[in-house]
Amino acid sequence: MAATDVSFERGLPANLDAERFVLGSVLVDDSVFINVAAALAADDFSLEKHRRIFGRMADLYDRGERIDRVTLAEELMRQGQLESCDGFSYIVSLDDGMPKLSNLEGYVRIVKDKSLLRQIIFSSQKVIDRAMLQEDTPDEILAGAEETLIKMGEARASNSLANPARIIEEFKGGLNAFLDPSRRIKGVSTGFTKFDEMTGGLRPGELFILAARPAMGKTALALNIAQYVATRLQGTVAVFSLEMSKESLLTRMMCAGARVDQQKFRAGYLNRDERQRLHDEAERLIEAPLFIDDTPGTTIMDVHAKLRRLKNEHGLSLVVIDYLQLMSSRGKAENRNQEISALSRGMKLLSAELQVPFIVLSQLSRAPEQRPGDHKPQLSDLRESGSIEQDADMVGFIYREEVYKPEREDLRGLADLILAKQRNGPTGIVKMVFLKEFTKFENRTSDIGDDDRGE
């Protein structure tokens, strides 16, 4: 929504000098228009005359014509807008005596930032108006605000273009680090050797969808990774559980870390050694930077607010969401597929904004069980939305053949993590061991080196 001149005079965020410099730079050298137009739209300018001038520049560019004082004035006159833009004298003033600017990107960024601030103000005013009128329910008002803010974030992310010089300049360690693989920033280790070798770990800003049929162990694997990062790497981990209580999750982690049978723990039949191991593991978890949230009906905006606060106070290394299909959306989607699409897209945007890897659990459809002979999951089995695959940087499936063939002793405890998609690396199968009584996945013995996890 564009600001009016009157609104600007009352103090809305704007920088008229930056706007004039951007428009003047195009008149000095119209070859820069394509770069400016990639970041700005006409409504990003605060003054109506600037919006009209930029709009007519776009018309000239679309027709393949030069953009200069004369052609711009002629186009404005043809549209009956020259007088409303203060005439030809104002067009001349935009580039009069102006050299070619070396910091045009900076001025474009200022104009864009001010525009976004105005949008936030207008959106906030709409929320206030709706709340004061009381014609909509609180949930409907929150849904509208949530959708607007997410769209703003998505638009801002899509405009963050950078040339090679800027990318290398912003890379930690500069050009030498960028060219030296041994010094490149690696992802967060999961503790699973073969998986880390295949992926380089869980990288900041990436969305990892971990999917499986019920009872395959997707929650167990996600918690194993979260526990490893928090206790062994001392990285801050946030776990959002929409299915289990925080007490149940903590019990699972304690028993997995201490290698104590959960059924025995719940029944209270523990020997002295098992009690000591549980006590030691509880102390490790108490000291670990691990945070669990089991609030029912959690939305993307809830997750966003909590994670921003957590990152500011403690830092953030990993986020786990268990699981996608149980997450709430305040909006009124046309169907469940559309709702899940919006949620998965929101997760990807959050991961990119916070520069933290997300492990998001997802249910699979019944298709694997209905396929005769081969029950291994495929990307097409992702439940309720094909956009989950599109948004994810990695998609992994947990498959335990023993679930389908319980009579075969040779399959007992064997598990596959099928990496079906990896945007920046190979796909394949990671062989694992699943200790059902501890709800714990481990490396196979052949994968463990001297420095690897062998708990």
Contacts of residue 124, Cβ cutoff 8 Å, sequence gap at least 6: none
What pLDDT is stored for residue 444 in this prediction?
87
CB-based contact 39:161 (threshold 8 Å): yes
175-179, 364-368, 428-432: the lowest-pLDDT one: 175-179
Number of domains in the chain: 2
Residue 151, in any domain of the structure: no
Q: Which residue has the higher pLDDT, 454 or 270?
A: 270
- Domain identity same for 125 and 202: no
Residue 453 has pLDDT above 60, yes or no: no
- Domain identity same for 215 and 334: yes
Q: Which residue has the higher pLDDT, 454 or 329?
A: 329
Residue 180 has pLDDT above 80, yes or no: no
Strand order through the sheet with 440-443? 290-293, 237-241, 318-322, 358-363, 207-212, 394-399, 414-422, 428-435, 440-443
What pLDDT is stored for residue 455 in this prediction?
43
For residue 207, the surrounding DSSP H or E stretch is strand 207-212
Question: What value does the mean pLDDT take over residues 225-251?
Answer: 92
Question: What value does the mean pLDDT take over residues 94-103?
Answer: 81
With cut-offs at 50, 70 and 90, classify the pLDDT of residue 3: very low
- Domain identity same for 297 and 433: yes
Question: What value does the mean pLDDT take over residues 118-129?
Answer: 88
75-89, 276-290, 340-354, 390-404: the lowest-pLDDT one: 340-354
What pLDDT is stored for residue 330 in this prediction?
56
Burial category of 380 from C-beta neighbours within 10 Å (exposed 0-12, middle 13-18, buried 19 and up): exposed
Residue 60 has pLDDT above 50, yes or no: yes
Q: Which DSSP state fits 42? A: G
Domain of 65, in residue numbers? 5-135
With cut-offs at 50, 70 and 90, classify the pLDDT of residue 213: confident
Residue 50, in any domain of the structure: yes
Report the mean per-residue pLDDT for the chain: 84
Residue 38, in any domain of the structure: yes
Residue 91 has pLDDT above 80, yes or no: yes
What pLDDT is stored for residue 360 in this prediction?
92
Residue 320, in any domain of the structure: yes
With cut-offs at 50, 70 and 90, classify the pLDDT of residue 97: confident
What pLDDT is stored for residue 228 in this prediction?
95
Residue 126, in any domain of the structure: yes
Question: What value does the mean pLDDT take over residues 444-448?
Answer: 70
Plot region of 47 (φ>0 → left; ψ -120 to 50 → alpha; else → beta) = beta
Residue 331 has pLDDT above 60, yes or no: no
Burial category of 359 from C-beta neighbours within 10 Å (exposed 0-12, middle 13-18, buried 19 and up): buried
**How many whole angstroms separate alpha carbon 373 and alpha carbon 352?**
40
- Domain identity same for 130 and 202: no
Q: Which of 135, 165, 199 is the last residue of a domain?
A: 135
The pLDDT tens digits for 245-276 are 889 899 899 999 899 888 888 888 888 898 99
Distances in Å between the Cα of 118 and the Cα atoms of 5, 12, 76, 107, 136 are 13, 7, 26, 17, 24
Contacts of residue 391, Cβ cutoff 8 Å, sequence gap at least 6: 207, 344, 345, 347, 348
* Percentage above 90 pLDDT, the chain: 40
Residue 454 has pLDDT above 50, yes or no: no
Residue 113 has pLDDT above 70, yes or no: yes
Q: Specify the CATH number for the domain of residue 299.
A: 3.40.50.300
- Domain identity same for 225 and 116: no
Q: Which residue has the higher pLDDT, 179 or 88?
A: 88
What pLDDT is stored for residue 450 in this prediction?
44
Residue 146 has pLDDT above 50, yes or no: yes
Question: What value does the mean pLDDT take over residues 317-332?
Answer: 78
What pLDDT is stored for residue 451 in this prediction?
45
What pLDDT is stored for residue 6 in this prediction?
45
Residues taking part in catalysis: 243
What pLDDT is stored for residue 387 in this prediction?
74
Q: Specify the CATH number for the domain of residue 24.
A: 1.10.860.10
With cut-offs at 50, 70 and 90, classify the pLDDT of residue 338: confident
Residue 181, in any domain of the structure: no
Question: What value does the mean pLDDT take over residues 25-35?
Answer: 89
Chain centroid, CA 258 distance in Å = 33
How many other C-beta atoms can be found within 10 angstroms of the C-beta atom of residue 360?
A: 26
Q: Which residue has the higher pLDDT, 447 or 263?
A: 263
- Domain identity same for 233 and 364: yes
- Domain identity same for 200 and 287: yes
Question: What value does the mean pLDDT take over residues 394-410?
Answer: 89
Question: What value does the mean pLDDT take over residues 78-104?
Answer: 88
Residue 2 has pLDDT above 70, yes or no: no
**How many whole angstroms separate alpha carbon 161 and alpha carbon 359?**
26
Q: Which of 116, 135, 154 is the last residue of a domain?
A: 135
Least Cα distance to 116 among 85, 84, 163, 160 occurs for 160
Residue 9 has pLDDT above 90, yes or no: no
- Domain identity same for 130 and 35: yes
Residue 226 has pLDDT above 90, yes or no: yes
Q: Which of 74, 105, 135 is the last residue of a domain?
A: 135
Residue 4 has pLDDT above 60, yes or no: no
Secondary structure class of 396 (helix, strand, coil): strand
With cut-offs at 50, 70 and 90, classify the pLDDT of residue 10: low
Rg (CA), the chain: 28
Least Cα distance to 9 among 38, 47, 44, 40 occurs for 47
Alpha helices by DSSP H, 259-355 = 262-267, 272-287, 300-314, 336-354
**Whole-angstrom distance between the N-terminal and C-terminal Cα of the chain?**
57
Residue 362 has pLDDT above 70, yes or no: yes
Residue 180, in any domain of the structure: no
